[in-house]
Chain A
């Protein structure tokens, strides 16, 4: 097979033989391989621990962002009720950015969980192979002449070597992915420490740097939609019951102030 699988197979085989070539007599091959196998198991365990740590960090950020979303939503509603549309918009922009980050984190936590599962499975498989190897080498030593034993042992060692190479690849991929996740977690931390998800009521008047950046980060159509929806909900639920009626029936030429609300709501 050429292309995709050909190269993969060739590289793995080269790795395995490099791993085993260092030892010359079978006993040495056995000892060396076995020692390598045990080391590799330790590495895998460390790899799993790293993945779990990265995952926990992302999950903590998720929890904190979820709280921000709830808080900013409440503040936006309060601002709408108080007629402070600018403040409501700012809160919704922040909420929008927080929600986008949350979705990203969610995907990545799932991905890390998959990596964790893969590594755990790989570890179990390697452990089983090592165990089989340990039994097999004793059987081979007892049953065959030295020359034949050497051949059989090196075959078995190659088989276990292949499994080790495979676990090595799974580890490398997990490490790469974990690094990417760290980058994402750092980006969220930066947004957090810049005050992106802070209380909007703490804001002074006027737009600051954060707000200008948020305008770029957040999806303005989504913010417009949500603001309109909030306004119509609050309008319908509370102060203006005649407005609710009009939304449903719609034919009456109602009061001038009520006339504005549905047209904005309707644009959503």
Chain B
């Protein structure tokens, strides 16, 4: 499974990592929906760190398509909220 952290790199993760990745993401979603801004940064970093630590970086000269694309590490709490309401980081 190829995961891209926007603004950084692509990482190759074992398919078995998907479950943990889902848990970490759900945690972020719960925090954003609950309006718990103070907990957001750590939770989002935990998700990104999991990818960076458990994945193998795809070389810049390798061309791969990502199955999952994560927003950049400087995503703000407000921007994360917009991702859910559909406004999104990238306009359609």
A3 within 8 A of B: yes
Interface residues on A, range: 35 or more
Q: Are A4 and B70 in contact (CB under 8 A)?
A: yes
Distance in angstroms between the alpha carbons of A14 and B70 in the assembled complex: 15
Contact indicator per residue, chain B 58-73, by CB within 8 Å of chain A (1) or not (0): 0011111111111110
Task: State which of A166-174, A187-195, A218-226, A243-251 sits at the interface with chain B.
Answer: A166-174
| A118 and B73 alpha carbons, distance in the complex (Å) | 11
A23 at the interface (CB under 8 A from B): no
**B63 contacts A166, C-beta separation under 8 Å:** no
Q: Which of B28, B60, B68, B70 has the most CB of A within 10 A?
A: B60
CA distance A36 to B29 in the complex (A): 35
Residues 29-71 of B at the A interface (beta carbon under 8 Å) = 29, 32, 60-71
A14, A15, A169, most chain B CB atoms within 10 A: A169
A156→B64 CA distance, assembly (Å): 7
Hey, which chain A residues are within 8 Å of B29, CB to CB? 2-4
**A158: interface (CB < 8 Å):** yes
Is the CB–CB distance between B84 and A4 below 8 Å? yes
Is B86 located at the chain interface by the 8 A CB criterion? Answer: yes
Contacting pair B68 A3 (CB below 8 A):
no
Q: Is the CB of B83 within 8 A of A4?
A: yes
The interface residues of chain B lying within 8 Å CB-to-CB of A160 are: 63
Residues of A within 8 A of B90 (CB): 8, 11-12, 15, 165, 168-169, 172
- Bound complex: CA of A124 vs CA of B60, how far in Å? 9
Q: Would A159 and B65 be within 8 Å (CB), given that A7-B88, A118-B7, A169-B6 are in contact?
A: yes
The range of chain B's interface size is: 20 to 34
CA distance A247 to B67 in the complex (A): 71
Once bound together, how far apart are the Cα atoms of A195 and B92, in whole Å? 46
Interface: B14 (CB within 8 A): no
Alpha-carbon separation in the docked complex, A159 to B69 (Å): 13
Find chain A residues with CB under 8 A from B68 CB.
Answer: 1, 5, 9
Indicate if the CB atoms of B22 and A170 lie closer than 8 Å. Answer: no
B32 surroundings in chain A (CB, below 8 A): 4
**A170 and B25 contacting across the interface, CB-CB below 8 Å:** no
Contact A8 B83, CB 8 Å, known A162-B4, A166-B4, A169-B6: yes
Taking the nearest CB of chain B, how far is it from the CB of A241, in angstroms? 52
How many whole Å from B54's CB to the nearest CB in chain A? 16
9 tightest CB-CB pairs across the interface, nearest first?
A: A128-B60, A159-B63, A132-B61, A9-B69, A3-B29, A11-B90, A8-B69, A156-B63, A125-B60
Give A contacts to B, CB under 8 Å. Answer: 1-5, 7-9, 11-12, 14-15, 114, 118, 122, 124-125, 128-129, 131-133, 136, 155-156, 158-160, 162, 165-166, 168-170, 172-173
Known: A7-B84, A9-B68, A162-B4. 11 other contacts (CB 8 A): A1-B21, A3-B28, A3-B29, A4-B32, A4-B80, A9-B67, A12-B90, A158-B65, A170-B6, A172-B90, A173-B74
